[in-house]
């Protein structure tokens, strides 16, 4: 969790320096991500939104691959075609993150349905925020899952703001969890600031899904995305994930300020070294990545389009 927080802040700082074009932070959601990631298995498939970096790292996605995608280097599996934070890694079951909200939820349902039909002992996990739950894709996917069943776990991260829209302007009901119940899914509301609660809820949900072949919905009420003053107050009071876990571990005698300072230095040094190495790696060009993997063999029409695009770029260099 500490490494995730440090690396997340560093990546945000690097983006603000203009070294890559886009980034969304995971601050305040570390416990949810690490807890869920710890409870999942290597064979499970992830359909993420854009605040699941911790889950990806727990799945085996490396910082080198994170930087490769953000910088569109040769380490990027998508060959520079996706905007930053649209991570993917097919060997780990990490499906490409799609920037438009909620499109990943129906995909996760489809994968879970396929797993059920094949009697496979793995699940798909669809992540989304409470703002995305206002999209039609969520309702279509939830009804699909509840009626056809499937090995799918839905995780709603309700941070209370949906980037910029408070929940009071989004819905008048009792949050998102109640919607899962309305669709006939097993549902639980979890304190997303609690690492242990997030882990135990996910572990139990996964076991239930594989036992019953029915979808499960988990609503995380972390309420961690706040105006700066409110965020600082929450941190000082020990409500935010890292502060809460720090107090618990310190009270148990399992952690100290000295150990945390040493870990912070190590994490920062590691990220700085990885960033230095990543910026040395050749990047995908627009021409190179755009036309790669469209066909398994050369096609005349594609070659003509490639040549036309090349001339367009040369004519309009600015």
Per-residue pLDDT averaged across 166-176, rounded?
85
User: What domains lie within the chain, and their CATH numbers?
Assistant: 2-278 (3.40.50.970), 286-315 (no CATH)
Beta strands in the chain (DSSP E): 45-47, 124-129, 152-157, 186-190, 216-220
Q: What is the pLDDT of residue 224?
A: 46
Does position 318 have pLDDT exceeding 80, yes or no? no
Q: How many residues belong to the chain?
A: 318
Per-residue pLDDT averaged across 197-218, rounded?
92
Q: What proportion of the chain, given as a percentage, has pLDDT over 90? A: 78
For the ranges 22-36, 40-54, 216-230, the lowest mean pLDDT is seen at: 216-230
Measured torsion, CA atoms of residues 46, 52, 55, 59, in degrees rounded to the nearest 10: 50
Q: What is the pLDDT of residue 72?
A: 96
Classified as helix, coil or strand, 161 is coil
Distance (Å, rounded) from C-alpha 187 to C-alpha 184?
9
> Helix 63-71 vs helix 2-16: angle between axes, to the nearest 10 degrees?
20
Task: Please give the model's pTM, rounded to 2 decimal places.
Answer: 0.90
- In terms of average pLDDT, the best of 130-139, 166-175, 265-274 is 265-274
The residues that bridge with 190 in the sheet, in sequence order, are: 220
Q: Are 213 and 116 in contact (CB under 8 A)?
A: yes
The residues that bridge with 2 in the sheet, in sequence order, are: none
Render pLDDT for 42-67 as a digit per residue (tens, 0 to 9). 999 999 999 999 999 999 999 999 99
Per-residue pLDDT averaged across 195-208, rounded?
97
> Helix 30-39 vs helix 2-16: angle between axes, to the nearest 10 degrees?
120
Cα 129-70-225 angle, rounded to 5 deg: 30
> Helix 30-39 vs helix 241-251: angle between axes, to the nearest 10 degrees?
70
Render pLDDT for 76-107 as a digit per residue (tens, 0 to 9). 999 999 999 999 999 999 999 998 989 999 99
Does position 258 have pLDDT exceeding 90, yes or no? yes
């Amino acid at each position: 969790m500490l490494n995730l927080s440090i690396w997340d802040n560093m990546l945000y700082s690097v983006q603000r320096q203009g070294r890559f074009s886009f980034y969304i932070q995971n601050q305040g959601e570390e416990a949810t991500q690490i807890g869920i990631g710890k409870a999942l298995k290597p064979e499970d498939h992830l359909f993420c939104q854009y605040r699941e970096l911790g889950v990806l790292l727990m799945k085996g996605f490396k910082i080198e691959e994170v930087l490769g995608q953000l910088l569109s280097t040769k380490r990027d599996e998508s060959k520079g075609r996706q905007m930053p934070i649209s991570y993917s890694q097919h060997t780990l079951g990490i499906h490409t993150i799609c920037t438009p909200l909620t499109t990943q939820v129906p995909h996760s349902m489809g994968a879970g349905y396929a797993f059920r039909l094949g009697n496979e002992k793995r699940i798909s996990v669809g992540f989304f925020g409470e703002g995305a739950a206002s999209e039609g894709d969520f309702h279509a996917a939830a009804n699909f899952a509840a009626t056809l069943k499937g090995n799918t776990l839905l995780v709603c991260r309700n941070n209370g703001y949906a980037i910029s829209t408070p929940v009071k302007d989004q819905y008048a009901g009792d949050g998102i969890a109640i919607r899962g119940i309305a669709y006939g899914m097993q549902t639980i509301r979890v304190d997303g600031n609690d690492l242990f609660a997030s882990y135990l809820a996910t572990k139990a949900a996964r076991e239930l899904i594989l036992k019953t072949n029915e979808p499960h919905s988990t609503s995380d009420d972390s309420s961690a995305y706040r105006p700066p003053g409110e965020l600082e107050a929450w941190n000082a009071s020990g409500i935010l994930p890292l502060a809460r876990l720090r107090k618990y571990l310190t009270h148990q005698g399992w952690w100290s300020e000295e150990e945390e300072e040493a870990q912070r230095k190590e994490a920062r040094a590691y990220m700085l070294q990885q960033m230095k190495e990543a910026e040395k790696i050749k990047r995908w060009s627009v021409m190179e990545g755009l036309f790669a993997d469209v066909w398994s063999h050369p096609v005349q029409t594609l070659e003509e389009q490639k040549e036309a695009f090349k001339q367009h770029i040369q004519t309009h260099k600015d």
